[in-house]
A and B are shown apart, each in its own frame.
Chain A
């Protein structure tokens, strides 16, 4: 089995403004993201040989993409994998290019969350049977927060402040990302004292359900420099689907996401990473809630279990820290259009590697990582993508 390492590159990307885009249609989002990517890669729609579109609830079939772009009878497939749907569109396109069945593929993810006239996020089904017992994501993820606080002996105030620092960091970064929904710094006190939505998580511990779209043009690594001088190369693109054990088995601790641990293990092995905190220079992680980002630091091996607080307090993941995380503000500031988020994460890494991230630019980049998670504690899907701007010397 060959790894995908250095066989595929991204040569063009697009991303719309995220947020409550009430005056924009599905078509607007798709056309804007796709044409930005096409122009960025310097190609025309006719150059796309295959395409994958990711959406959870805003469209059906490949036609949700071929129709607005008027794609010319090429293979187009819709993919869905809950919150990692955008990453899955990228994985499908990249794997097709790696398999050699096409040279130029489009991956596009989009979602119109706010058109539904409801408040808050999507329900998740706790009991997948006739009796549908629903739970909302804040409640679902707070199951980890309450257990984490209990297990590591963090008092309410202490735990809340730990999480608040993540929100403060992401708002600080998002304030410098023009396409984010929220451009506002927040203070620890504001975050801690915000209304509770699912104890102990408050309004500022959660991301919003937003509208948005993002797209990538994927091509063979050996062709990448024909399109541009600064492509990014995929070093690993893997995902992991949990068998729902945590919901069923009493040995799951509600302190981590096993799917993240397993996916990371595979990705690090593919790239040859042994000390991720040192070797990764920039990362986007799935901060649907502050607690998710906190335990993800531990699951990705960036800090020991139960030590997230010390690393957060030390500013390790700040923009000027050892490993800047969510440099564009993450889901926290962009909001979470389920189908688009994974590609939006890649968009940030892509722009950072090209030195186009403006005031939030991180210097001396070697490897970048995007971690995208769907589902919830005990039952999740996780995508991990590691990229770099250097084609590995052993490839030609």
Chain B
């Protein structure tokens, strides 16, 4: 049996109310809020979070590959999947691929992973979808698009939802697009885009029904993405679905449309509630359509708790203003502090120190068991030379020993919060504290590590780990 073995999710902590967006532009107000990535987040950092959530209690070194789906990879050339593999400390002897260019990339990656496992070339492939798409200020896309990530571990053991069937179709259509010189996603004339979406989805879903001789009533949940909330409801009606019970709630009012991750995140949300024996239909639109039939197994009851969608939705902070969201998304030029531009990190050093910097490995002395970060040749406690073994800090929790709120350093979001943290199990680090309001910071506060962007210089993004408050 091949299918989903585990799931995880990530939603940025900051939410922007639709009221605030409408208030600025005088546009028609949408309901709810959307998730906005912090200034130090991007599709890679969110993917890392979702992978870590998905692999709680799972040995990541046993995973044979990682497929990353995103339309907003930080680099057009340079594999984001390889960065996620390193940051999450997966084996580098693994298959990696970046799926992109359409919201359908998420299910493209799932189907490829399923085929790889079915074909016997892998036992476990981690699929992670993550997106940080931007809509231009004042437009409909700005209201619609949010940020988030979802991860699914595909495998042939301990399957919690098996893939029973699938169907794919492609279509050449200009309904949603972004060229390599555009920052913002464009949408065609809405009535055209909507009509094309509805006809494509209906046609492919009915084709699958015929092929697999199933009926809509056979599914306890039907999951599908859509260009907007109204069209989502329209398709549900057209398919004859029970709106309240059978249709998985879309993300528009809570997170926003998160592109390649939308449908997979809805699937994670559905799996959080799913019971053994239930069937789920997943339809993912984007330059065509992928459809999957899932069957939930008894193993779902045994999966240990994840933060998932439910957990992340409850961890939230209001963005105080619309302008703050513009700053976080680098959509507004702000007056820079008169400080020197940070030096771009050397690619040679970044490669040599990838284990320490990207995977956050320090060292542990085999003589006296002292752990320290960064890794060292000589032990800070017993001074033994070359008795070190690798020690991973990224998954250790810590407490704040002391802190500062720096109002003059170069940051898009002053003040910069810096903390000295002491790890459970030993070791101390001085690092930045993120996703934290300046009033919250205090000595003794529990924190966990999160992979973030430090700064960008000369086109090289400097990723590193920061601390963040543990929120439950």
Q: Are B409 and A136 in contact (CB under 8 A)?
A: yes
Residue of A nearest to B457 (CB): A132
Distance to closest chain A CB from B122 (angstroms)? 32
Q: A residues 87-134 with Cβ under 8 Å of B? A: 116-120, 123, 126-134
Per the bound structure, the CA–CA distance linking A266 and B373 in Å amounts to 30
Q: B residues 433-458 with Cβ under 8 Å of A? A: 443, 454
Q: Are B418 and A130 in contact (CB under 8 A)?
A: no
Cβ contact of B380, chosen from A117, A133, A143, A248, cutoff 8 A: A248
Residue A4 at the chain B interface, CB threshold 8 Å: no
Interface centre among B356, B403, B430, B443, by most chain A C-beta atoms within 10 angstroms, is B430
Distance to closest chain B CB from A155 (angstroms)? 14
**Segment touching B, from A195-203, A211-219, A296-304:** A195-203
Residue A139 at the chain B interface, CB threshold 8 Å: yes
Residue B357 at the chain A interface, CB threshold 8 Å: yes
Q: Are B464 and A250 in contact (CB under 8 A)?
A: no
Chain A 236-256 interface mask (CB, 8 Å, partner B; 1/0) = 000000010101111010100
Q: Are B380 and A139 in contact (CB under 8 A)?
A: no
Distance to closest chain A CB from B376 (angstroms)? 8
Chain A contacts of B390 at CB under 8 A?
Answer: none
Q: Are A147 and B407 in contact (CB under 8 A)?
A: no
Residue of A nearest to B353 (CB): A130
Residue A323 at the chain B interface, CB threshold 8 Å: no
Q: Are A247 and B428 in contact (CB under 8 A)?
A: yes
Residue of B nearest to A199 (CB): B405
Chain A contacts of B337 at CB under 8 A?
Answer: 119-120
Q: Are B381 and A129 in contact (CB under 8 A)?
A: no
Cβ contact of A249, chosen from B428, B443, B462, B464, cutoff 8 A: B428
**Segment touching A, from B65-73, B206-214, B340-348:** B340-348
Per the bound structure, the CA–CA distance linking A336 and B130 in Å amounts to 48
Residue B401 at the chain A interface, CB threshold 8 Å: yes
Per the bound structure, the CA–CA distance linking A201 and B352 in Å amounts to 38
Residue A341 at the chain B interface, CB threshold 8 Å: no
Given A138-B408, A199-B404, A150 and B443 contact (CB-CB distance below 8 Å):
yes
Chain A 249-275 interface mask (CB, 8 Å, partner B; 1/0) = 110101000000000000000000000
Residue of B nearest to A143 (CB): B402
Chain A 129-172 interface mask (CB, 8 Å, partner B; 1/0) = 11111111011101110110010000000000000000000000
Q: Are A129 and B428 in contact (CB under 8 A)?
A: no
Residue of B nearest to A247 (CB): B430
Distance to closest chain A CB from B373 (angstroms)? 7
Per the bound structure, the CA–CA distance linking A295 and B10 in Å amounts to 44
Q: A127-B431, A139-B404, A144-B402 are in contact. List 12 more A-B contacts (CB 8 A).
A: A120-B339, A127-B430, A131-B345, A132-B345, A139-B409, A146-B403, A147-B402, A195-B407, A198-B408, A247-B420, A250-B426, A378-B430
Closest 4 CB pairs of A and B: A130-B349, A139-B406, A147-B402, A119-B338
13 A–B contacts, CB within 8 A, in A order? A119-B337, A123-B339, A126-B418, A127-B464, A129-B357, A130-B349, A131-B357, A133-B431, A143-B402, A147-B443, A245-B380, A247-B420, A252-B428
Residues of A at the B interface (CB closer than 8 Å) are 116-120, 123, 126-136, 138-140, 142-144, 146-147, 150, 195-199, 243, 245, 247-250, 252, 254, 378
